Amino acid sequence: MLNRRNLLRGLATGMGATSILGAPHAFASRPNFSIKTGGAKRVIFFLQNQGFAPETCIPEGMTESGSLDGVTLPEPIQALDPYKDRMHIITGLHGRHTSPSHSAYFGALGGYRGGIGVAPGGATIDHVISGLLPETIMPHLRLGMDALENMISRPTLATLSASDAGKPLYMHSNPVNLYRLLFGGIATGDVKRRYEARSRVFDSIESLAGQGVDRLPAGERERYSSYVNGFRDINGLRERLHDVSDHLTNFAPEYDERFTQPEFETDWHDALLDIGIASLKAGLTSVLTIGSGRGEIFGSWKGLGITEQGHNLGHMKQPDNPIWVKIRQYNCDMLVRLMQALESMPEGDGTMMDNTLIVYTSNNADKQHTNGANWPFILLGNCSGAFRTGQYTRLTSSRPLNDLYATMLHAIGAPHDHFNVSRAQASQYRSVAGPIEELLA
Amino acid sequence: MNKTQLRAILTLIPLCCPTALAAGDGPEAAFGSEIVPFLNQHCMDCHSADAAEGEIVLEGVSRVTSDNVELWKRVWEQVALRQMPPRGTDDPPEPLARLKFADEITRQIESAMVDAGGFDRHHHPSKGNHIDHDLLFGPLPKDLSPTSTPARLYRVHPMEHLTRLSSLINQDPPYDPAKPGVRSQGDFINPNKEGEIKVYYGLDRVIGWVGGTAAYAASITGFPPALSLEDAHGLRSYPNLYTVNGAEATQIASTAEDILRFMAFGPDAEPYQFAASVKDIDKKYKHESLRGLAQSLFYGLEPKRPLTPVYDLTQIEQPGDEDLARAVRFLFTELTCRRPTEDETQRYTAILRTAMTDLGRDDGIVLGLTPIFLDRAALFRSELAQAGRPDSHGRVMLQDAELALAINAAFSYLRPGDDLLDAAANGKLRTRADVEREVDRILADDSIRKPRMLQFFREYFDYDRAGKICKDTAALQAAGGDTRTDQHYRAMWNMTASTDRLIELILAEDRDVLKELLTTNRIVSSQKEDAPYLGSYLSDKRPKKDPKAKRGPNRSVTIAPYNSPKGTAIHVRVARVVKPNKTNRVLTTVDESQRKGILTHPVWLVAHSDAMDNHAIHRGRWIRERLLGDAVPDVPITVDAMLPDEPNATLRHRMRVTKEEYCWKCHQKMDPLGLPFEMYNHAGLYRTTELKQPVITSGEIIDSGDPELDGPVKDALEMIDRLAASERVEQVFVRHAFRFWMGRNETIDDAPVLQDAWHAYRDSGGSMKALVRSLMLSDAWLYRRVDREALAGTR
């Protein structure tokens, strides 16, 4: 199983990540490297479903790579205009091998073949990074935004992130449950009493669940252990949160009617984002993955006045489409809120944003029924000076999105030649060893 | 370089790799003794460094490692599925040698991947056909080992879990022989018209609400299944595929508290919401601003939910230990399907007592009983066979409580009746005769509901996925689907319920079950709603609006709805949300010149289509796997499996790309079997033209394994007739039933069990009951393989 300890141990001893990550096409590494994850860094992945049309992110008139200085951003992403100097728009990466079509699911962040019902083929980049950055209480927080009824009926869903082959990671979609989980310990009075009573009961459950595990046959023991470990994770997290409860008090979002009486799905989307921001500011997590549309082919944004919902949204052309302009603008407003929140937090000689990278893209390349030949990305922030910013880069060598993920590993100080690309696959995917130089500072 | 020289090179490979020659029983030794000779004899002519057919080079390849595992997976599938060595080769391997080679590769992959994510793909149900059918149903090989199934934990099925939770809060009616299709206690919980599966709180007590049906649907609360299941075609109930993750456990705990609160106190509502009649409620509580809120629901005065020992606790000011223990025993039995031991009762009673001390009686009941919902036995059924002595093959027969629960779980989602629990408690579940007695009793009693039987047919046919196939609006309308897209999905979910009922009807008759399902002219139908889907596509001409009608036609192309014969009344099981849905349907017949059996029902056709068009590959794959007992290897990761995007070309024409040599090796197994279904479009409508040209419906059964089956077919109906008459097809059906009820893929050692089951089915005139009975009395079902020494070592 992939965890920070054995991953670091493996990397430090030069074993390479292939065997440790356990993915069938786990990322191959340079023979000699060292871990330089350094101080606090954080990476935020924001994936909007149904594709990201390049026309909606390339500044008008820009047909080649160049500076963003003085250009006008397209209407859907105009909210990012004040951040152009901290921005890098990238087109020309491909994800053909991820079989996106309706959604590449785990393949979008894994860089391998995905698709509906296809189990993850290995660890995804967000989870790998969470294991490489300095440890936090909750190394990887995942949020999923969807239609309100779906978030209620399926408060957890796994479609985008994975810790290993066949090991999906769940997103949280019910902000009430998530708030209680993260901030229940800082309540007072009756709420506190209930929290403690609940803690005792859950400790009992863990104890009961763990009895007799050693009497199970080997394969069954492993499968059942994931159930027991689930309680260990829940209870362990509660204890760790309890230990920092004074600190958390300063960051807990306001628990208001958006949580308890949402009128539209966007109330819960905003509440989830607030929890994500609070978790980053409080240092609870250093990797946040947001799935708007939860990696699937549905989704709803009635709170923006959009009456169409579900899969039909995916069958519309995005450029100049008022519906998609609204959705993209809403995404960008969220990105701005994230950046403003991180800029407000001092860190070292600057702010948290100085050490942050935000990765905005889609789980489905450029559009529905795509072959994944062009997969646009927007990067915000430079992650402690690692990334070049204020730039539009049109890559012409058709490298796979895996190479961008390898570049991120390089940027956080854990350089790898490839991410989830074997030697045999490298030429086929047109993957080039090492980071994408055009993207680095 | 000649063939002899190449063989010599490969024989030398182990010398280059000293570990490969290591003595002993490990993977290195087995590679040298089992794999290298097979490669030498059967593979080197084409896959040497010089020949490199298909760019696959096996010369110099090392034993399986995590680095070359993708290559070995391909070798495994190609050999197991008889794709390699190619047909017509001079010296084909014997089936048994092929099996041993393939098994050794999977063993090696398992070993190589232990620290690299593991390898379990060969145990997946989709790989069940990787063993040669003729090995299983031909003369029995010598030296078979007595069969058994590994000791295991069976995570409960999501529907099983949901049914049990539902029974705690809903009082479903008992089985009524006069209305055999109506939902009764223990039956399958169907999706609603939108495809959502949910159990609601207090549905049967609601007497009114503010607003329309949408407001009602928004105000009533419920819960969906908490456990996950593979969202894919095919059998999906294997225990090795599932566990319960932390997120699911959290969700179960949360739902448990809601359920317990409802069990104890009823609907969470203000006093004004309860009345004998809605008209007794003050008008001020009926204001439209309340629409869609929980406060807008009105309930009758009399409780409708089951009043259980959990409710009893709320009626005693200070419940004593025995009161608490009674609630614990009740809940434990309902959730785990067995009675708790005294130790378990005491343990949970103590937790309940502590919670009541912490939080007071009412909140303490809710929190203190929650852990029972998360007991291992509530989520995992044990088949560990920890009692009993292993025989000389390391096998132990299930007995007592484990056997009672296994028998029960083969049919039911609710706890067993007291007779079965008593038999287990009194030592009367220890022999094959005991099992025979109980299985026969259950099979003969229709009042014991058997949703697992239906679950098998849902997974076998996949028709229940029709409502999940997301359709492109324009493509759907062009095929004759409803212009109101939502209506299309509602029609699919409704027709799924109708097909459930048809299957249950054929199961009740229990004669030639498979053949009847494949060829019946009967159909259960909501005649008016289903008529367009059972009808024909005529042209792309937009129908004229009826001047007398309020709204325009709900089709944008011209179709001929099916005018079905009057038929007889029949009931189906439909989900209830807003109000009791009409359960009435009609048992009628299809136009036999156009349709025949489930494979021609719109739900099966749509379930095997995609957003834009038919999916001839999926349809063909279904025939290949479920009827012919063959399989298609996983698509290599390097293949960009996309048809050209040519909106003005037929699917048959677009599929020309699959005829390229590299693709055709696999696609010849599927495409010619799926293309005969081009006589229907992707909405399931019958058609004679496509893009204004006569539709081509021909196909071919190629290399089925039964020469009598092989040959061209003019359309799907002819193909279905031929397949339905085949013994091989019947045997493959038995193989799937084996997998479903055993929860694992068959091995060569299961050949006698499969042959017995097929004979039981055939000799009984195609009785499903006889088939299941035979499987459940087999060693494969009764015995578990245990390794006591290994377990002792781990402790």
Nearest CA in chain B to A223: B243
Answer whether B153 sits within 8 Å of A19, measured CB to CB.
Answer: no
Phi, psi of B694 (to 5 degrees): -55, 130
Enumerate the β-bridge partners of residue A140. A287
Provide, as residue numbers in chain B, all residues whose Cβ is less than 8 Å from the Cβ of A212: 376
pLDDT at B573: 85
Give domain status of residue B480, yes or no.
yes
Check whether residue B479 and residue B370 sit in a common domain: no
ipTM attached to this prediction = 0.82
Tell me which residue in B223, B358, B640 faces A197 most closely, judged by beta carbons.
B358
Structure tokens at B437: 């007695």
Q: B372 to chain A nearest CA, in Å?
A: 9
Answer whether B386 sits within 8 Å of A209, measured CB to CB.
Answer: no
Name B581's Cβ contacts closer than 8 Å, sequence gap at least 6. B574, B575
With contact defined as beta carbons under 8 Å apart, do A21 and A163 qualify? Answer: no
Answer whether B367 sits within 8 Å of A231, measured CB to CB.
Answer: no
Q: B758 to chain A nearest CA, in Å?
A: 31
Structure tokens at B723: 């397949």
Check whether residue B627 and residue B708 sit in a common domain: yes
pLDDT at A153: 61
Residues 318-357 of chain A with CB under 8 A from chain B are none
User: What is the number of domains present in chain B?
Assistant: 4
Q: B785 to chain A nearest CA, in Å?
A: 10
Residue B688 contacts A where some CB pair is shorter than 8 Å: no
Give the residue with greater pLDDT, B253 vs A326. Answer: A326
Low-confidence ranges of chain B (pLDDT < 50): 1-23, 795
Check whether residue B357 and residue B477 sit in a common domain: no
Provide, as residue numbers in chain B, all residues whose Cβ is less than 8 Å from the Cβ of A158: 247
Cα–Cα distances (Å) from A351 to A41, A82, A140, A354, B66, in that order, read 11, 17, 21, 5, 43
Check whether residue B61 and residue B197 sit in a common domain: no
Lowest mean pLDDT among A168-182, A305-319, B350-364, B676-690: A305-319
3-state secondary structure of B274: strand
What is the residue range of B44's domain?
A: 3-119
Check whether residue B663 and residue B710 sit in a common domain: yes
pLDDT at B694: 96
Give domain status of residue B218, yes or no.
yes
With contact defined as beta carbons under 8 Å apart, do A388 and A85 qualify? Answer: no
pLDDT at A28: 32
Answer whether B153 sits within 8 Å of A220, measured CB to CB.
Answer: yes
d(CA B273, CA B109): 63
Q: Mind listing the pLDDT tens digit for each residue in A2-39?
A: 332 232 222 222 222 222 222 222 333 322 223 334 56
Nearest CA in chain A to B381: A224
Give domain status of residue B391, yes or no.
yes
Residue B611 contacts A where some CB pair is shorter than 8 Å: yes
With contact defined as beta carbons under 8 Å apart, do B439 and B407 qualify? Answer: yes
d(CA B576, CA B205): 13
Q: A218 to chain B nearest CA, in Å?
A: 8
Tell me which residue in A112, A198, A220 faces B152 most closely, judged by beta carbons.
A220
Cα–Cα distances (Å) from B335 to A265, A391, A417, B256, B725, in that order, read 34, 59, 52, 11, 44
Residue B247 contacts A where some CB pair is shorter than 8 Å: yes
Residue A189 contacts B where some CB pair is shorter than 8 Å: no
Q: B302 to chain A nearest CA, in Å?
A: 29
pLDDT at B643: 82
Nearest to B496 by CA among B191, B180, B157, B163: B191
Provide, as residue numbers in chain B, all residues whose Cβ is less than 8 Å from the Cβ of A99: 640-641
Q: A181 to chain B nearest CA, in Å?
A: 10
Pairs across A and B, CB distance < 8 A? 173
Answer whether A117 sits within 8 Å of B472, measured CB to CB.
Answer: no
Nearest to B474 by CA among B490, B485, B465, B466: B485
Cα–Cα distances (Å) from A298 to A155, A313, A320, B567, B723, in that order, read 15, 8, 21, 39, 39
Nearest to B263 by CA among B229, B306, B218: B306
Answer whether A26 sits within 8 Å of B116, measured CB to CB.
Answer: yes
Query: Does the predicted model carry a pTM greater than 0.80?
Result: no
B479 Cα distance to chain centroid: 29
Provide, as residue numbers in chain A, all residues whose Cβ is less than 8 Å from the Cβ of B151: 217, 220
Tell me which residue in A19, A234, A424 faces B66 most closely, judged by beta carbons.
A19
Q: B51 to chain A nearest CA, in Å?
A: 19
DSSP A102-165: T--THHHHH-S---TTPPP-S--HHHHHHHHSPP-SSSEEEEEE--HHHHHH-SEEEEEEEEET
| Region label for A299, one of left (φ > 0), alpha (ψ between -120 and 50) or beta (otherwise) | left
d(CA B549, CA B669): 50
pLDDT at A9: 27
Residue A36 contacts B where some CB pair is shorter than 8 Å: no
Cα–Cα distances (Å) from A436 to A107, A388, A402, B290, in that order, read 20, 11, 10, 57
Provide, as residue numbers in chain A, all residues whose Cβ is less than 8 Å from the Cβ of B243: 223-224, 226-227
Q: Mark B749-784 as b/e (b = at least 16 C-beta within 10 Å).
A: bbbbbbbebbebbbebebbbbbbbbbbbbbbbbbbb
Structure tokens at B544: 């004229």
Instruction: Using the 3D structure, point to which of B346, B365, B382 is the last residue of a domain.
Output: B382
CA torsion angle A413 A415 A420 A426 (round to 10)? 150
Residue A15 contacts B where some CB pair is shorter than 8 Å: no
Residues 257-286 of chain A with CB under 8 A from chain B are none
pLDDT at A313: 80
Nearest CA in chain A to B373: A205
d(CA B537, CA B533): 9
Answer whether B640 sits within 8 Å of A208, measured CB to CB.
Answer: no
Check whether residue B418 and residue B469 sit in a common domain: no
Q: B235 to chain A nearest CA, in Å?
A: 13
Check whether residue B398 and residue B463 sit in a common domain: no
Which one of A116, A195, A216 makes the best mutation probe of the B interface by having the most chain B beta carbons within 10 Å? A216
Check whether residue B172 and residue B220 sit in a common domain: yes
pLDDT at A119: 66
Answer whether A201 sits within 8 Å of B386, measured CB to CB.
Answer: no
Residue B115 contacts A where some CB pair is shorter than 8 Å: yes
Give domain status of residue B142, yes or no.
no
Check whether residue B639 and residue B513 sit in a common domain: yes
Answer whether B116 sits within 8 Å of A18, measured CB to CB.
Answer: yes
Give domain status of residue B757, yes or no.
no
Check whether residue B553 and residue B619 sit in a common domain: yes
Residue B791 contacts A where some CB pair is shorter than 8 Å: yes
Give domain status of residue B434, yes or no.
yes
Check whether residue B423 and residue B527 sit in a common domain: no
Give domain status of residue B624, yes or no.
yes
pLDDT at A5: 28
Nearest to B414 by CA among B77, B709, B147, B172: B172
pLDDT at A309: 64
Amino acid at B674: G
Instruction: Using the 3D structure, point to which of B668, B700, B724 is the last residue of a domain.
Output: B724
3-state secondary structure of B582: coil
Q: What letter would DSSP give residue B634? A: P
Nearest CA in chain B to A262: B293
Nearest to A48 by CA among A39, A38, A57: A57
Give domain status of residue B321, yes or no.
yes
pLDDT at B740: 98
Check whether residue B576 and residue B637 sit in a common domain: yes
Residue B245 contacts A where some CB pair is shorter than 8 Å: yes
Q: B375 to chain A nearest CA, in Å?
A: 7
Tell me which residue in A166, A170, A312 faces B245 most closely, judged by beta carbons.
A170
Map out the domains of chain A with their CATH numbers.
23-178+252-439 (3.40.720.10)
Answer whether B243 sits within 8 Å of A224, measured CB to CB.
Answer: yes
Instruction: Using the 3D structure, point to which of B74, B92, B119 is the last residue of a domain.
Output: B119
With contact defined as beta carbons under 8 Å apart, do B536 and B594 qualify? Answer: yes
pLDDT at A48: 97
